[in-house]
Amino acid sequence: MLRIGVVGCGTIGRGICRAIDEGVVKAELIAVYDRNACDAEKLRGQFSRFSPEFMEIAKMVKHIDLLVECASQEAVHDVVPLALTSHCDVLILSVGALADEGLRNRIEELASENSCKVYLPSGAIAGLDGLKSASIGEIHSVTITTRKPPQGLAGSPFVVMNNIDLDSISDATVLFEGPAKDAVKAFPANVNVAATLSVAGIGFERTLVRVIADPSVTRNIHEITVKGAFGEFSSKVENVPSPANPKTSYLAQLSAIATLKKISSPLQVGT
Ligand SMILES: NC(=O)C1=CN([C@@H]2O[C@H](COP(=O)(O)OP(=O)(O)OC[C@H]3O[C@@H](n4cnc5c(N)ncnc54)[C@H](O)[C@@H]3O)[C@@H](O)[C@H]2O)C=CC1
Ligand SMILES: O=C([O-])CC(=O)C(=O)O
């Protein structure tokens, strides 16, 4: 059975661990790690089938087949190359880290040299299947508009560096418009989905991102438009935010669980 280690015991990490423990994903939960050891310790006691050990990454990678990163972009730099070098597959949630071309190339090279897979779940968006098919032909444009309640954008480098008072926003306000490579640095905990779109489609320079703070919404809304030789499509997801972390949509967690389910199942459905 697939042996999994989870790095990041926050909103998504907890959901993934629960899904493994409940048998939704046919795998063994071997180890967990969080830089906040208290969060990891609290989580460890919550399972009925598994008793994952709290393990530093260097030890974890010796005991698992697949490392799940659901921590932060910084963690991708620290743990993913190490996991691949140790012949572990990886599933990455903090996909924005891959805007760093050096890191992206290194991850691809290490995965290839060590015969490992790197999985990027769809996250809180719909339409990656269509984009992947369409990108076999010519793509003209990919845009994503992300609309969140202002407090869902709190703490992002863009908001902090520009001294934006989110409480004073009374109408929908476009805070950012630009390429995905800049968007994922400006809003590292909000637009990882734009990074996943970039990897699946036309890259971080050409994928365009608009971030709107909108006090009239209670959901995290992602609208995607893709145009190309195939024609065009749009998708819109109105996501329920996770109660524990309003920046993160519930669908993001479900998407990671669905990817793990696919990995651990003989049946593969969809593009
Ligand atoms: N790909 C996608 O579509 C989506 C990606 N995300 C990203 O997934 C990641 C997890 O999201 P949530 O669970 O909502 O976040 P969270 O903030 O609830 O939990 C993150 C946990 O990771 C830990 N952590 C952070 N950096 C770490 C490091 N360097 N080493 C070890 N532990 C570390 C924190 O202490 C925290 O317990 C975030 O980076 C988030 O931005 C979130 C939503 C959608
Ligand atoms: O969960 C969401 O709505 C999307 C998100 O935070 C991200 O992609 O980083």
* pLDDT tens digit sequence for 10-45: 999 999 999 999 999 999 999 999 999 887 788 877
Reduce the DSSP state of residue 81 to 3 states and report it: helix
pLDDT band for position 137 (50/70/90)? Answer: very high
Ligand minimally distant from the alpha carbon of residue 36: 1
In the chain the first and final C-alpha atoms are separated, in Å, by 25
Residue 271 has pLDDT above 70, yes or no: no
**Per-residue tokens: 15:** 């959901």
State what percent of residues in the chain have pLDDT above 70.
Answer: 100
Given a contact cutoff of 8 angstroms between Cβ atoms, the answer to whether 5 and 86 are in contact is: no
Residues in the chain: 271
* pLDDT tens digit sequence for 98-112: 999 999 999 999 999
Q: Is the CB of 196 under 6 A from ligand 2?
A: no
- Which position has the higher pLDDT, 269 or 231? 231
Residue 131 has pLDDT above 90, yes or no: yes
The one-character DSSP state at 230 is: T
pTM (predicted TM-score): 0.96
Q: Is the CB of 10 under 6 A from ligand 1?
A: yes
Residues with Cβ within 8 Å of 217's Cβ and at least 6 positions away in sequence, in order, are 147, 148, 149
Average pLDDT for the chain: 95
d(CA 76, CA 27): 22
Given a contact cutoff of 8 angstroms between Cβ atoms, the answer to whether 255 and 121 are in contact is: yes
Report pLDDT for 165. 97
CA of 71 to the centre of ligand 1 (A): 3
**Per-residue tokens: 128:** 């990656």
Active-site residue numbers?
Answer: 222
d(CA 121, CA 119): 6
Please report how many Cα atoms fall inside a 13 Å half-sphere around the Cα of residue 196, on the Cβ side.
26
252 CA closest ligand 1 atom index: 44
Residues with Cβ within 8 Å of 45's Cβ and at least 6 positions away in sequence, in order, are none
Residue 94's CB: how many other CB atoms inside 10 A? 24
Residue 216 has pLDDT above 90, yes or no: yes
Report pLDDT for 24. 94
Q: Cite the annotated binding site for NAD(+) by residue number.
A: 124, 192
Report pLDDT for 28. 96
User: Taking CA 259 as the corner, what is the angle to CA 182 and CA 117, rounded to the nearest 5 degrees?
Assistant: 75
Report pLDDT for 219. 96
ipTM above threshold 0.95: yes
Residue 270 has pLDDT above 90, yes or no: no
d(CA 54, CA 51): 10
Given a contact cutoff of 8 angstroms between Cβ atoms, the answer to whether 197 and 144 are in contact is: yes
